Structures are given as C-alpha cells and as structure tokens.
Chain A
Amino acid sequence: MQELSANIRRLAVLMLWGFLLVCLLFGYWQAVRAPGLRANPHNEQARQRENAIKPGCVYTADGEVVLRAERIADEWRPAYPQGAVYCHLTGYNRDTGLQKAMREVLLGIGAYEDWWRTVRYGPGGLDIALTVNSKAQKLATMLMRGKRGSVVALDPRTGAVLAMVSAPAYDPAVVLENKLSYEMFRNDPNSPELNRALQGLYPPGSIFKVFTAAVGLDIGLVEPETIFECSGATRVSGVLVKCRKPSGHGRLTLSWALADSCNVAFAKLAEQIGPAQFRSYLKKFHLLDQSDVSLPASQGKMADFDAYKGERELAQAAFGQGATMVTPLAMARMTATVANGGELIQPYLVAQVKRRDGQILREYSGRSLGQAISQETAGQVAGMMAQAVEKGTASRMALPGYSVAAKTGSAQVMHGEPHAWMVAFAPRQAPRVVVAVVVENGGAGGTVAGPIARELLNTLLAE
C-alpha cells in the first residue's frame, strides 16, 4: 500500500508537470507569438477583422493620391485615382504590388499595431509616401504608351526612385471590371502584369560597357587615353567580335571606344581584365542582386566564365551580350553609382509611413552598399559618357543648359529588332537625376530610347 501511495504521488507530479508545460505553451502562443498570429494572412478571424479596417492611402512624394480606400457595400475596396500610371507599384488587389508588400502598414497591423493609436483614433491603416515624382511618372507612362519596356529614374545622391514605369501598363479598375477583362489581362501575351523595371530580364548591350570601362580603369589596367585597335571584326578569346562599324575604328582611345560604342576594344579590354576581376566587380556593383525596393524583383544572370570556352562568354559580356541578363533597375543603379562618385546606394521606393493626421512614424532612406569604384574612376567614366553625348552615339541626349552623360545600347536578341537602351545622368558635375530606359525590340538605342530618356531628364531637372 505504501509503495502504491508513492507511485500515485509520482504519477500526480508527472501530470502536474504536464499542466505546467501547457501553461507555458499557452503563454508562448497567446502572449509571445500573438502579434504575429494576428497579422498572419491566413488568419480567417483577422481577415474578418481587417475588412473592417480602413486601409491607409499611398501618396507620391509631391502629394498625389495613388491608392486610397473606398467604402463599397460594407467593404473597403482599393481605388486607383490615377488609372494605369502607378499600376505596377500599387498592384491590382490586396495580393499584389505594394498592397501586398506593405499590407501591415496599410492596415496598421502586426509590427505597426499600436493600441494607443487605435484607442485614440479608432482602427485605421497608415499612409505611405513614395519617393516617386508624379510629373515624371506620368510623363514616362505617356512616353512608353504603345511600347514594351521600362523606365527607371533615380536620384543618385539618395537612391530615391523618382519614376518607375513598366509598359504595357493596365488600369486596375478596368482589369477588375469583370471576369472576362481579368482573364484577358492575365493571358495577355505582352504580360502587362509583369513589372519590367524589377522583374524584366534583358541583355544590356552596349550600356554594359560603362561597367567594363569602370573595372578596367579602377584596377589601373588602362587610362581613358589608352589606345586600342579595331579592324571591324576581330577574333578575341576565340570568338569573332564584330564592331558596329563594319570598316572598323582603326586606332582609338578607350574614351572614344565608349563614346562611339566599339565592341572590339571592349572585348579586348575584358580579356585583359580576366574573369576573376570581372566577377569581383560584378559583386561590388551588386549588378546581379535582387533590388530591395519592397516589390518582387528578379535576379540578374551572367555566363559562367569557368565553364568550357568561358573566355568567349567573357568577351561577349564585355559589351553586354551573350548570356548576360539584367533588370532595368540594376542598370539605373549602375549608372547612379558612376554618377554618385562610385558609392553604391540601394534604391528605395517607400519614403515615409505616416499617420492619418500627417505625423511621420517612420522614414526610410537608401542604404549605402559601399564604394564600388574609386571616386577618380567614377569621374573618368562620367567624362567618357559625357563625350558620348558631345560627339558620340548619344548625341541626341544633349540638353541646353546642362552637361549630360549618357550611354546608348542596342542589345541583339534572338527574335526581332534589338532592344533599345539608354542610361543617362545630369548634370555631369553634380548629378541629380539618373534615367534608364529600355524599349523591347525598339531598334537603335540612341533614336528610340534616347528621346524618352531626354524628355524625362529635362522634366526632372526642371523640378
């Protein structure tokens, strides 16, 4: 009997330990993990609760309303006052674009939950101010109408995204009008849903020479005045490189090779640079990284130089062909790095999180990713790009009153006309605006992408 009593006591103690464990776990889920659980998108209770919350608005930097909430039949629905202009930023429902990425902000939940604010102002979302300039965004949307491609404008000093346009665009209200319009939108062969600025992958073509030149200069391999030989078509690293001038440039400086876009000179330069240095600078420039601007983005691609006949790939990568694939934003960021004296700043799209009464709760800025190239190199590359505007292929970029630096690109593709590229910044001495434009199958960069970039530069410089 005595032993039985002892056993009963031990069994009871075991059960009590179980109850204690259960208490701790209730504490874990109901106190520690509760905020995360409340904000989880699969939470049906939260969904019902959130449908009652009035979501915040999205503004541009100059105060234009881009997204606001409308009360329709006991439900808050998103409304898009600007139609198609900001479609790729806002998305077309709660599961796309900034409405998805900034869900917790717009609804004021999760990390943005503040019971004191709720008590004082009632449940309501927070407003978001973007870095985007409404004039530039509208102009870029208009200029890209009827084309496929993308426009990105940055402030090189801060990383602020001044404009981000992907074409073709769509009006979220029209898309969601009925089932048929939605089906047509989803199945459109031109994929309007895709945000080409961040998700589109393109061969960069000649604008990539900016990078190759920067590497060559930064490691001290060449000077802007270093002489190269171009005979029109030359075998470099076992691959036949053709220049855009069939007769060849003859003897030319690196500076002129960039300004007049000579492929042969750059293939030879890349051969001298070698795959190891080329790769290390790709990393320093974060050229292939996803851009972290709160929206889904693609990673760039580059050929494997260590593979069989990898040196051929390197010779082609020197002028942005071969397997090289980049996003328009990455090219804008590369140009901004040159414009900003070699310091790489991560672009950002969301500037502020505000309360409805205007009080700023959070402020964002572009994160510096360090010096990709020296200030001296950046200055030299900028000079070479300015020469391209003064007397090279980018002569259409010249703006009265400003000294503009630019580089054209016409990236050869498998099907159709080449993709037309233009990257530019101005003013050259103290750059305030960087623009990158790509028009799919547009043809020559200077004539197709150039005017778009020029208009945009002009407008943004006047701001």
Chain B
Amino acid sequence: MVCGAIGGLGLALVAEATAQPLSWALRGLTPAGVLLLAALLMDLVNGHRDRLLLPLCGLLATLSVVFLTRTDVFLAMRQLIAIVIGVFLMVAIYFLIEDVRSLGRLKYTAGVCGVGLLVVTMLWGEVHHGARLWLAIPHLVTFQSGEVAKILMAIFLAGYVAERGELLRRTGIRRMGMRLPPLQVAAPLLVVVIFCLAIFVAQRDLGAAMLFFGLFVAMFYLATGQASYGLLATVVFGLGLVIAHHYFPHVGVRMSSWLNPWADPQGAGYQPLQALFCLGEGGIFGAGLAHLPVTKLPAAATDLILVVIGADLGLIGSLSIVLIYALIALRSYGLAWQATDRFASLLAAALATVFSLQALVIMGGVLRVIPLTGITTPFLSYGGTSVVVNFVALGLLLAVSRDCVPQPEPTEPDARA
C-alpha cells in the first residue's frame, strides 16, 4: 500500500513537472498492485515467511518506475512490464520450489550453466556501449547473461560450500602473521581470480568482474572463516587488474577516468564528473522531482539512476536509498543467520552478498571510491533482465524464510485465548 501511495504521488508529481498526462500517475499503482496480489497469493498457501524483504524491494521497484518516468517515459513503460514478469516469476519460483533445501542437489547443473553462460557471452556476446554483456537468442530474446549467471553461481557456491566446505578448511601454514592457504584452497582461489580477470578482459566489464570476485571471496570466507585468504586473493586480483589494464588498455578507459577525470572533462572523464555535478546540484534537500534536465547525464536510466535520485531528492534521498539497501542486506543476512539448514543459510548469504555488492559497487563508482562501472543497481536501474532476475532472487530468499527459518514461538501465552 505504501508503495502504491509513493508511486502514485511520485508519478503525479513527475507528470506535473514534465507535463505528461496525469494518466501516467496511475501506472505507479501497477507495481504496487502486482506486489500486493503476489503477497496475497503467497499468503493463501502458507502465511509463514519473511515480512520485510518484499515491501522493501517493492518500494525500490516503484521508485524505479517513478524515476524512469522522469528520465525517459518509454523506458519506464518497459520497466513496468519487466516488473510484472519478474513478480510473476517470483511467485512461480516460490510455489515451484517445494523445499528450498532440495535446490542444493542442482548445484552442479547450476554451476555448469552459470559458467557456460558467462563463457558463451565472452565468446559470442553482443557488444553494447563497449561491454560484451548481452546474449541473444535469435528472433526471441536478448538478455544480460551475467545477471542470470549470478543467481546460478549463488546456488552453485552455496551447494558446493555446504557439501564440501570442509575440504577448504585445512589449516595452512602461518607466515608473517598471515595464514597462507594450503594448496587445496589456493588452487580454487587462483582459478576464481583468473576467471574473474577473464570476465574483465573478455567482457570489458569491471563491474561484473568485481561482483563475481566479491561473491566468490565471500563464500570462501563463509566456508573457512579465514579473512586473510580473502585479503590475499583481493591483492592478487587487484594486481591482476592493473596488469590486465596495462596489456589491454582499451578494456579500461574507465580506469584513467577514475584516477583523474579532470584530465579530460569533456571526454573520458565526462560521465563520472557529470554524475558528481548532478549530486552537487541536488545538495542536501534536492533540486525537486524532475526539476533538473538530466539530458546531459550519460546512462541516467541505467548506470546512474542513483545520481538522478540524488539530484532530485538530495542527500536525504540518497541516504534513504542507502538505508533501504542496508535494510535489505541486514534482513537477508538475518535469514541466512536464522536458517536451520546449511545450504539454505549459505544460499541466503550468497544472495544477500550479491545485492549488497551490486549496490556498493555502483555507489562506490558514483562516489569515486572505485572506477565507475556499468553494473546495475538492484531493482532501481532500467533493465529487463536485471529486474526479473532480482525478483527471482527475492523469490528464493522468501522460500528460504518459508522453509528453513523456524516460526517464532509466541513468547507469552495469551491467557485470554
């Protein structure tokens, strides 16, 4: 209901500001209505599930429609369709998976499919905006394979670590205050690093490389509890990026524009600088919904939707968005923590990591902590594949909460009942 109110009000304001017919405002109710329907459907079967994640993600999806309407009405329409499909798939997944624990059996299938998708994309993917991220099934559909792969990889890693995590826990040798990994651990870590570097070089996509690397390292950490392995891998990965950047300079124009965007403010540094300028224009209280023309902001609807929000709603808006992501992360990790099953717990943690990392990588890029990448902002960015996949991931999280989180016992038996 809250989503609907925000969406309706937001779109009414956008319609006011951009002189769109007011009928647009009604479309803000669509995601809210669909989500409400989905929630009721799920409650019909079993009322025991997480109550926080769906409203939070729904809020983001609604805001996405509001701010896409403000940047590009056509994209907002397509986003609406994607949200409806995504919610439908979410409900379908929720019902199809009778017990989320059984999903662990599919881990190798998921792993092979995930790696396969990425490799196929590296070899035959379509290049859009300089990155090889798209896979086309001719005459049928074009989709961003990395988005699909990240769910498959999450399932694979959760299953693998749940079953074989013990293998990774051989204690290594202690040298110079760091625990060096034994060969059984070092070898898979090295494979991971090389795989992620391959994503970087072949797909020219630093964002996806960082996301997958972060996911792998996080799962390694959950399996072993050794933060030093993660640090070591990160150092090697960082060095690898520097070397790869050196040998394939076309891969990373974004590197130089990250280090010094002021060197070429009209060329390579244009996008990161305009992003910062828009944030500055927003200031603390924001310039007002649809007040600034963001026509000069490249990729406003996809990479930089957060910047549009920051410009319109100011620091207050930006911090609210960060808060929503932090709450989603907190709740998802909370599910992982509460889950009674090892696989389900790891799956929830992996999905929580994917959401958090994606948000952090794009925010860090906008705020100049790391290079600006084309990674999608979960639920907010324009992008059909991204929206659908994120709702599927949400469906998995809800399934975990349904199957593996024990129902809280009523703490105080009501005497009158």
Please report A residues at the B interface, Cβ cutoff 8 Å: 1, 3-12, 15-16, 18-19, 21-23, 25-31, 33-38, 40, 42-46, 48-49
Contact = CB atoms under 8 A, between A and B. Distances in A.
Given A26-B310, A45-B296, A5 B353 contact: no
Interface residues of B, number: 52
Nearest to B363: A22
B349 A27 contact: no
B310 to A, nearest CB: 6
B336 interface: yes
Contact of B280 (A11, A25, A33, A48): A33
A30 B342 contact: no
Closest 3 A/B residue pairs (Cβ):
A37-B280, A12-B333, A44-B296
B185 interface: no
Interface string B294-330: 1011000000000000110011001100100110011
A42 to B, nearest CB: 4
B330 A12 contact: yes
A43 B352 contact: no
Nearest to B361: A18
A43 B280 contact: yes
A30 B284 contact: yes
Given A9-B337, A19-B329, A31 B349 contact: no
A109 to B, nearest CB: 12
Contact of B277 (A21, A28, A35, A40): A40
Nearest to A38: B280
A19 B322 CA distance: 7
B6 interface: no
B318 A16 contact: no
A30 B369 CA distance: 15
Contacts of B284: 30-31, 34
7 contacts: A3-B225, A16-B330, A29-B367, A38-B281, A42-B266, A43-B277, A44-B274
B104 interface: no
A29 B329 contact: no
A26 B318 CA distance: 7
Given A4-B346, A38-B281, A16 B329 contact: yes
Contacts of B292: 45, 49
B277 A42 contact: yes
A48 B281 CA distance: 12
B218 interface: yes
A30 B333 contact: no
A22 B360 contact: yes
Contact of A30 (B227, B283, B337): B283
Interface in B263-298: 265-266, 273-274, 276-284, 292-294, 296-297
Contacts of A10: 227
Contacts of B359: 19
A21 B319 CA distance: 11
Contacts of A9: 333, 337
Contacts of B322: 19, 22-23, 26
A15 B356 contact: yes
B325 A19 contact: yes
Nearest to B219: A11
Interface string B355-372: 011011001100101000
A36 B280 CA distance: 8
B221 interface: yes
Contacts of A46: 277, 281
B62 interface: no
Contacts of B319: 23, 26-27
A364 to B, nearest CB: 28
Nearest to A20: B326
